[in-house]
Amino acid sequence: MNLTKVNHHSQISSLLLLLALVTFAFSQGPPKESGSFREPDLVELVKLDPTIKLDIRYATGNNFLGKPVYKQARAFLQRPAAEALARANQNLRTQGFGLVVFDGYRPWSVTKAFWDATPADKKIFVADPSQGSRHNRGCAVDLSMFDLKTGKLVQMPSEYDEMTERSHINYECGSAEAKRLRGILKAAMEAEGFVVYEPEWWHYDYKDWKEYSIQNVAFDKIKK
């Protein structure tokens, strides 16, 4: 038996299944919401602040699914959140660090696909699509820092998207340096109106997230 061919076919089958989940979620559409919301104004982060680095893992196979789910490596936030993030980035640059963004606005269909593909005991790390995600509203960002001198990601207590206790913002068993760096990021983000999601040191929600509705628009369809 040719194991290379078997593995290749298995990878293709997994990718096709994931694409099918995303496509089905698009056809279903997000949950209906009542109330009044601000008009969406999604801003591309690197156009607002070109010094923000992007490492859009979901446009690659380097993520918890092992498959790309985005066709484009781009990141957006609602304008007030994007402007707040740019201020946090400039603050951190005075301390020798810059922000690197893993994900920002996320179409609802992708949240649905994540939920469907995640085991029950790990669902604390993914949003329930029946409620929508703050990523879907354009008011959540996944990020870390890089060292301005070396250009390398700093060492945090866990890897991005690691589904273990090490990812918790209050995890106490990491190295002193990793906890110090995690604290620097937290302070800079909180100063600009972001709140950390406790199970994930990398996930921050902007204070006004309730004022925006759930979106399911693909990156290439976002109005400039």
Q: Which residues are catalytic?
A: 200
Which of 174, 180, 141, 176 has its CA nearest to residue 159?
174
Task: Report the C-alpha dihedral over residues 177, 181, 183, 188, rounded to 10 degrees.
Answer: 160
